[in-house]
Structure 1
Amino acid sequence: MPADASFGMSYWMRGTPSPDRPALAEDLTADAVVIGGGIAGVCTAHELVRAGREVVLLEAGRIGGGVTGHTTGKLTALHGLTYARLRDTHGILAAARYARAQQEALEHVVRLCEETGTDAELERAPSYTYVTDARRAEEIRSEAAAALEAGLDTAYVTETELPFPVAAAVRLDNQLLFHPRRFLLGLAQDLVARGGRVHEHTRVTGLREHADCRITTEAGHTVHARDVVVATHFPLTVHSSLLTRLTVRRELVVAAPVPTDQAPHGMYLTPEDRTRSVRTAPYDDGRRLLIVTGEAFEPGTDHTGERLERLTGWARRIFPGFGEARETYRWAAQDVRSADHLPYVGHEHPDTQHVFVATGFGGWGMSNGVMAGRLLAAHVTGGPRPDWTELFDPRRTLPLREFPDVVRAQASVARHYLVARPPRCTHMGCELGFNALEDTWECPCHGSRFAASDGRVLQGPATSPLENPERRSEP
């Protein structure tokens, strides 16, 4: 599967052919409409079809072609330093419910692959969060204890298979590596076989909730449904109570095949060194593809090329075989974070009955996306809801200790509205920044992205293209 050093399409997308699902070409009526063909959207639509609902899934691009198709594809309940924070902020019961929701999502993926005959390259592997600075070892010890108390079989260790010493690490065994795009394509195929409809290349531009919900598309078609699930990360239409509690980040990814003796079996994450995430995946010729992620930044920020050089340089220092072969993959992922570090999955705002959202996964969308699919299906069908339903409710009260972070985030957003120079986002008028590495204009407020060549929308929530875009060189 040859690739070059150009920046763009992810490894998951490049080598996974799929049938091109036709764009919506007529008005429709359905029980439920799911907007977004990533892991949360496809899992939700699949659960609803299995429950006997008439479902239409609308995706602006290709299935798995957005955030899901640009992740590292880790399925783990160990989410960095999550459990100590959850315990201290929400209590140990909340941490236990979060842990159970994640671990159940992993096992649900295994069942779905078996039931649908999907080869998603599932591999069991240990997951680690580690530090090399001994001064941070106590953070790791606290995380290991909190995760263990939450019900995960974690261990505090000081040795790993990484080719350098670590000061401390949390280890959680029996987690999953998988191919996210193959997983979604398998679910989509089964969804259609069960009577669901999938329409790619169909951008939704409007949503109104009345006695029934009305969804309009860029091509002018309309879908009526009782219930709508918005699984587009930053919601297309968003209530002000949610708007102020979401922030957007992009992160760089580099990948290249390495000899098997250089390929770690486990998956690794450190909060140090601008974050570094490592995993491997099967590769065509028996080698392993080493995937390294890090260097998170606000969309539209300058110097993305320098960030990419730092990340690539780190990978080459740690894994000497990295980048020696001609196959090299380089891309970026984007995700949305919530103010209290918990996803928002449920009713979009207090006044809605039939519009639901799934967002705020904070970099852990693989397990949380599967969790969201099951939870949203329960909301729509009125079926039994798990005891962690309220933990993820978008209408929940924000803990007082999180308010300073919200104020800082909104102050950062506000400054992008005060400046006078164009261009501005067609979503809400935020000043755009230019990403020379990807040749895009990007919104730091809500994450919309536009092609510099012609202004077309690459990523929402914006639905209208830029007028008169211009390219710029990176300073």
Structure 2
Amino acid sequence: MLEGSAQSYWMASSKSPEYPTLTEDIEVDVVVIGGGIAGITTAWELTRAGRPAIVLEADRIVAGVTGFTTGRLSALHPWVFAPLRESLGAKAAQLYARSQQEAVEHAAQIADQLGIQCDLERRPSYLYVEPAERADDLKAETAAVRDAGLPAGFVNETSLPYDVAGAVKLDKQIQFHPRRYLLGLAQDLVRGGGRIYEHTRVVDLVQGRRHRLTTDSGVTVLAREVVIATLFPVFSRALLDFRLVPLRELVIAAPIAEEDDPGAMFITREDNTRSVRTAPYGEEQRLLLITGESFAPGSGQTAERHRLLLNWTRRHFKIGDIHYWWAAQDLDTTDKIPYVGRVDDNLYVATGYARSGMSHGIMSGRLLAGLLTGEEQPWTDLYAPRRKHPIREAGPALKVGLSHLRRRVTDHVRATRTPVSELKPGTGTVARLQGRVCATYRDDHGTTHVLSARCPHSGCLVTFNDVERVWECPCHGCRFAADGSVIQGPATMPLESLK
């Protein structure tokens, strides 16, 4: 049993009104699939521009990936600007910087305009390194950040309680309560004529002059334009299958005295990533949120990763008990730039936020709304899903493809050697039973449940996460409950139940 409550602080500290489930066929102008930051922001921007949109959410809005983020809203993304300038040129880096900083300011303006109480605080944002030999690389990144138009500077000291060799500092960034912010946006969206439907999973999409969407209850939606704003696109996957890499990171949250608050946001890719921020939390204290231990879904060792992150936190900060812990999921892209824009006639996508989902999500809403209303943003081509950067992407895309192939081979070998008889209550394994590769789980009462181990999205074999008690697909990040039901796509169907 891990220390702390196994839930996101953002989820535990905010309540969402219930939105209806779609129960009858409808015909609409614009449909947004997915009720996270990209989906809600896109629908809100469209509705404000005079094109009321409807949101179809498989579960509850702002309760998937966005409900488990860190709420760090900054234009200073780790190790992006120098590689971007080198591969695509100074203009691309400038557009990237502008799109991200405008997203920061846009969120602040909206929160103020709508009166959303979301604990929004202006704070400096730092990217730091600890080894002295990395300082020169970081100075080069600082120069690239400045050349891109952001007023960043290189510093040798920070307010962290441990020494660093150097850091890039960008002032006036934002930390906030992302769920409260987006729930406020959702309420304003409905007031403006948009609609939200929860517990409405889209399981099929047939493209045409009017796209035909089918939900898990058999309801049909006809829409002139469709935005796919799920984490991994549930449709149009062929374009992006080998250009998206799923990853997870752990988050722990514990109270810290106000005088021990470092007063800024910090991130490093060292130590398998460490991100530091705080949030308001009662009187005379703050909530310290530490993120890190990046890993691929289905790779196991979650408890050990949690222990490493907790020990690191206790070594560096004065904390007591852990109050919350959770895991956040995201997607890297092969060229480190999100895919946002048109993928086909009147079909759009937003994905691949590379652990910077807050600014990318807000940027996506503005970009997509601009495409649908004829007012394109200057950076539209930079994020276009059909862009081709063969030199920058060839190696990473090949690596993704080989990884999928390797998993398909090695997982089948592993499945033939795992003894089901050794399963303890609360654990699961993949085994070959009566000629079929099965996902087998033994519940706390000792009853064994058997499912197909093949992910319905692409056929990769799932693995069991003993800590969160879920099945995870390592290829595209699909996650399923112990009973096989879908927790997280791109899968739209559950794991097959076997007698």
Q: Which residue of 1 aligns with 2:348?
A: 356
Cα 1:101–1:74 change in 2 (3 A) is same
Q: Which residue of 1 aligns with 2:433?
A: none
Say whether 1:78 aligns with 2:67: no
1:367-396 per-position Cα deviation (integer Å, ceiling 9, x unaligned): 0100000110111122x2122110000010
Q: Is the 8 A contact 2:52 2:192 kept in 1?
A: no
Q: Is the 8 A contact 1:245 1:406 kept in 2?
A: yes
- Residue identity matched to 2:380: T
Say whether 1:462 aligns with 2:491: yes
In structure 1, C-alpha distance between the alignment counterparts of 2:389 and 2:132, rounded to whole Å: 33
- Residue identity matched to 1:460: G
Which of 478, 483, 491 matches 1:448? 478
In structure 1, C-alpha distance between the alignment counterparts of 2:73 and 2:216, rounded to whole Å: 34
SS in 2 for 1:273: helix
Q: Which residue of 1 aligns with 2:340?
A: 345
Q: Which residue of 2 aligns with 1:438?
A: 468
Q: Is the 8 A contact 1:340 1:399 kept in 2?
A: no
Shift of 1:262: 1.3
Q: Is the 8 A contact 1:227 1:354 kept in 2?
A: yes
1:45-103 per-position Cα deviation (integer Å, ceiling 9, x unaligned): 00111111131101112221111111110110000111111111111110110000000
- Residue identity matched to 2:249: E
Say whether 1:67 aligns with 2:56: no
Which of 344, 365, 371 matches 1:373? 365
Q: Which moves more between the two structures, 123-132 or 107-116?
A: 107-116
1:113-140 per-position Cα deviation (integer Å, ceiling 9, x unaligned): 1222211211000000001100111121
Q: Which residue of 1 aligns with 2:424?
A: none
Q: Is the 8 A contact 1:89 1:399 kept in 2?
A: no
Q: Which residue of 2 aligns with 1:330?
A: 325
Shift of 1:401: 3.4
SS in 1 for 2:206: strand
How do 1:116-155 residues align onto structure 2 when only pairs under 5 Å count? Answer: 116-155=114-153
Shift of 1:333: 0.6
Say whether 1:410 aligns with 2:401: yes
Q: Which residue of 1 aligns with 2:389?
A: 398
Q: Which residue of 2 aligns with 1:473?
A: none
In structure 1, C-alpha distance between the alignment counterparts of 2:378 and 2:402, rounded to whole Å: 35
Gaps of 5+ in 1: 471-475
Larger Rg: 2
- Residue identity matched to 1:393: A
In structure 2, C-alpha distance between the alignment counterparts of 1:219 and 1:7, rounded to whole Å: 34
In structure 2, C-alpha distance between the alignment counterparts of 1:30 and 1:167, rounded to whole Å: 55
Gaps of 5+ in 2: 416-436, 438-452
In structure 1, C-alpha distance between the alignment counterparts of 2:327 and 2:58, rounded to whole Å: 19
In structure 1, C-alpha distance between the alignment counterparts of 2:52 and 2:152, rounded to whole Å: 42
Identity %: 51
Q: Which residue of 1 aligns with 2:444?
A: none
Q: Is the 8 A contact 1:30 1:54 kept in 2?
A: no
Say whether 1:424 aligns with 2:454: yes
SS in 1 for 2:97: helix
Q: Is the 8 A contact 1:50 1:194 kept in 2?
A: yes
Say whether 1:103 aligns with 2:101: yes
In structure 2, C-alpha distance between the alignment counterparts of 1:171 and 1:368, rounded to whole Å: 20
In structure 1, C-alpha distance between the alignment counterparts of 2:300 and 2:498, rounded to whole Å: 17
SS in 2 for 1:337: strand
TM-score of the superposition, structure 2-length normalised? 0.90
Shift of 1:7: 5.6
SS in 1 for 2:271: coil
- Residue identity matched to 1:441: W
In structure 1, C-alpha distance between the alignment counterparts of 2:224 and 2:408, rounded to whole Å: 36
1:4-43 per-position Cα deviation (integer Å, ceiling 9, x unaligned): 9356320000110121111111111111000111110000
Q: Which moves more between the two structures, 461-470 or 403-412?
A: 461-470
How do 1:84-99 residues align onto structure 2 when only pairs under 5 Å count? Answer: 84-99=82-97
Shift of 1:417: 2.4
RMSD: 1.4
In structure 1, C-alpha distance between the alignment counterparts of 2:460 and 2:51, rounded to whole Å: 39
In structure 2, C-alpha distance between the alignment counterparts of 1:49 and 1:168, rounded to whole Å: 44
Q: Which residue of 2 aligns with 1:226?
A: 224
SS in 1 for 2:225: strand
Shift of 1:176: 0.5
In structure 2, C-alpha distance between the alignment counterparts of 1:402 and 1:396, rounded to whole Å: 11
SS in 2 for 1:396: coil
SS in 2 for 1:78: coil
SS in 2 for 1:285: coil
Cα 1:107–1:378 change in 2 (3 A) is same
TM-score of the superposition, structure 1-length normalised? 0.94
Shift of 1:415: 1.8
In structure 2, C-alpha distance between the alignment counterparts of 1:61 and 1:286, rounded to whole Å: 36
Shift of 1:469: 8.2
In structure 2, C-alpha distance between the alignment counterparts of 1:159 and 1:433, rounded to whole Å: 43
- Residue identity matched to 1:404: G
Shift of 1:111: 1.4
In structure 2, C-alpha distance between the alignment counterparts of 1:9 and 1:53, rounded to whole Å: 36
Q: Which residue of 1 aligns with 2:198?
A: 200
SS in 1 for 2:272: coil
Q: Count matched residues.
A: 459
